[in-house]
A = this chain, B = another copy of it.
Amino acid sequence: MKYPNKIQKSDTRVINHANRGMTLEHDLNLTNVYYSDNNIAVITKKATPIKVLKIKNTCKGKTIINEACFETPSTTDYNGIYKGRYIDFEAKETKNKKAFPITNINEHQLKHIEKVLEHGAIAFIIVRWTTLNQTFLLDGKTLINFIRENERKSIPYEKFQELGHLIKDGYIPRLNYLLVVETVYFSDLNKKDD
């Protein structure tokens, strides 16, 4: 079937952009509301940085933004506090089945993860493999080390199985990643890192 080229391209782009990362983000937001409501942790998603270019004041004193554009985030998307510890992470989805492209996380975000780790944070990435329907937590230090020690531009799925930690889907909460955080960062074996 032949579609007019321009329309097809533009449509695909809009759909991809709108859905990018929405499901994982939605699950994480619901989970964070559960954590907050049940007094487990306070972890929030930072607002997407937007550069306001033009504003208009309406007659009722409300401000409407007429023109703005998305900015590249310089830090990770989520941070907060759990059991007195500072938590910081970035969440990404990938449709790939074999490898997670490192370019999905920008340079500033990697630098941010490195920096907060130096100050004693619990930092990691959460990656959802949408095609495989699996979500992994990968420790920030493990991620940084992998990038430094390898010349690769992506992290193979097998490395997530080997070095990462599977986060099981649930109903309430939707994605109980703090259960994994508990095992990885708070278990007796790991307490020496605290």
Within 8 Å by CB of A57, from B10, B42, B66, B112, lies B10
- Asked whether A69 and B65 contact (CB < 8 A) given A48-B47, A57-B14, the answer is yes
Q: Are A86 and B86 in contact (CB under 8 A)?
A: yes
Q: Are B68 and A68 in contact (CB under 8 A)?
A: yes
- The complex places the Cα of A36 from the Cα of B115 at a distance, in Å, of 8
Q: Interface of chain A, helix or strand or loop or mixed?
A: mixed
Nearest residue (CB) in B for A123 is B81
Q: Are A84 and B50 in contact (CB under 8 A)?
A: no
Q: Kindly list chain B residues whose C-beta atoms are within 8 Å of the C-beta of A67.
A: 64-66
- The complex places the Cα of A65 from the Cα of B57 at a distance, in Å, of 17
A146 CB, min distance to chain B CBs, angstroms: 22
A43 CB, min distance to chain B CBs, angstroms: 10
Q: How many copies does the complex hold?
A: 2
Of the listed residues A64, A112, A118, A119, the one surrounded by the most CB atoms of chain B closer than 10 A to its CB is: A119
A187 CB, min distance to chain B CBs, angstroms: 19
Q: Are A70 and B81 in contact (CB under 8 A)?
A: no
Nearest residue (CB) in B for A75 is B44
Residue A176 lies at the interface, judged by CB distance under 8 Å to chain B: no
Residue A156 lies at the interface, judged by CB distance under 8 Å to chain B: no
Provide a sorted-by-A list of 19 A–B residue pairs whose CB atoms are within 8 angstroms: A17-B57, A17-B63, A42-B119, A42-B121, A44-B74, A47-B47, A47-B50, A50-B68, A63-B70, A66-B66, A66-B67, A68-B68, A81-B86, A81-B119, A81-B121, A82-B119, A84-B85, A84-B120, A86-B86
Nearest residue (CB) in B for A64 is B69
Residue A61 lies at the interface, judged by CB distance under 8 Å to chain B: yes
Residue A13 lies at the interface, judged by CB distance under 8 Å to chain B: yes
